Amino acid sequence: MQIITGKTQLFGVIGHPVSHSLSPVMHNAVLRHLQLDYAYAAFPIAPENLKMAIAGLGMSGVQGLNVTIPHKQSVMSCLSSISTVAQQVGAVNTLTMGAKGWEGTNTDVEGFMAPLLKLNRDWAQVNPVILGNGGAARAVVVACYQLGCPEIVVVGRNFDKLAQFQQSWGDRRIKERLNTLPWEALPALIPQATLLVNTTPIGMAPHPHQSPVSEALMAQVTPTVIAYDLIYTPRPTQFLKLAKRHGLKTIDGLEMLVQQGAASLKIWLKQEDIPVKIMRQALIDYFGQS
Ligand code: NAP
């Protein structure tokens, strides 16, 4: 058991609500493992208090913060600097206290890419099809762009939101590679897709038996395809069960969750080697208990 003393330093996560956040579980596990005198806490901050609260947390000596819904965009106006990747995504999930105040970046992109980079693929030949056009899809688009995928297709169910998504990119190079299509285009896209990413909540509780891709469509996917679901509970989702049944390589959302957290810690601790295994196991153990 870690002893919190007067010297213990603090990291944390801000959100509203934030009590469901898994970040304290995995971060405290790895900080304990590294025997560092840090603790990680969750701060529920209502949107109207955001500016005052993060200024106060900074003045109280908090060294680093993760940012979750609904603050990922609104926090951007409270920062002294914003990294290129966070500007590309249009959202910040990691704050670090710098000389001039909070500096913002986005580690969701690195978190999403980490398990893909372990696979031996020629990304210039990979055609990603991303299901859903919400917040998480933005980080996935930037990651696919960074990997070098030549055309990135995003499929959504709401025409207006999809058009807005297409127009929303400040970086022209990303916009040029992006193609947004209605959900109905999926059957025609599936046979050509080589990376299939679910960024919708389809398959989460209370509907764990649903999949964004039907069994019949999954049967048309070539076996070299990677199926990646951002959902981390249940594990595996119905989408990944179907993908596995058809011989596809599968990646679940737990890996992205752990890797984006590890990427934040790398920045805060100025240390490349983060024992990701400890973070992953802490979450698996936690899911087993809850
Ligand atoms: P979000 O901003 O609400 O976006 C969800 C997207 O899914 C929207 O485009 C929404 O369409 C679409 N959608 C919802 N229900 C649908 C349905 N029945 N059919 C078709 N499309 C549907 O949420 P988010 O923040 O992007 O998160 C999405 C998922 O990713 C969640 O399950 C979340 O837990 C997961 N996630 C995981 C990680 C990780 O680290 N593993 C990180 C972030 C998010 P409309 O706009 O038309 O409603």
DSSP secondary structure letters along 194-232? SEEEE-S-TTSTT-TT--SS-HHHHTTS-TT-EEEE---
Distance 137 CA to ligand 1 centre (A): 8
pLDDT of residue 1: 65
Q: Which of 51, 72, 244, 270 is catalytic?
A: 72
For every one of its 290 residues, what pLDDT tens digit does the chain have, with 9 covering 90 and above? 678 999 999 999 999 999 999 999 999 999 999 999 999 999 999 999 999 999 999 999 999 999 999 999 999 999 999 999 999 999 999 999 999 999 999 999 999 999 999 998 999 999 999 999 999 999 999 999 999 999 999 999 999 999 999 999 999 999 999 999 999 999 999 999 999 999 999 999 889 999 999 999 999 998 899 999 999 999 999 999 999 999 999 999 999 999 999 999 999 999 999 999 999 999 999 998 76
Please tell me the residue having the least CA distance from ligand 1 atom 17. Answer: 202
Side chain identity at residue 19, one-letter code: S
270 is catalytic: no
Q: Is 208 in the pocket of ligand 1 (CB under 6 A)?
A: no
Q: Is 133 in the pocket of ligand 1 (CB under 6 A)?
A: yes
Q: CA 201, CA 5: separation in Å to the nearest integer?
A: 41
Nearest ligand 1 atom, CA 201: 32
Q: CA 109, CA 104: separation in Å to the nearest integer?
A: 14
pLDDT of residue 180: 98
Please tell me the residue having the least CA distance from ligand 1 atom 23. Answer: 134
Distance 287 CA to ligand 1 centre (A): 21
DSSP state of 3: P
Q: Is 202 in the pocket of ligand 1 (CB under 6 A)?
A: yes
Q: Is 66 in the pocket of ligand 1 (CB under 6 A)?
A: no
Please tell me the residue having the least CA distance from ligand 1 atom 38. Answer: 230
Q: Which two tokens stand for residue 12?
A: 């944390």
Q: Please, which residues have CB within 8 angstroms of residue 191's CB and are 6 or more apart in sequence?
A: 220, 221, 222
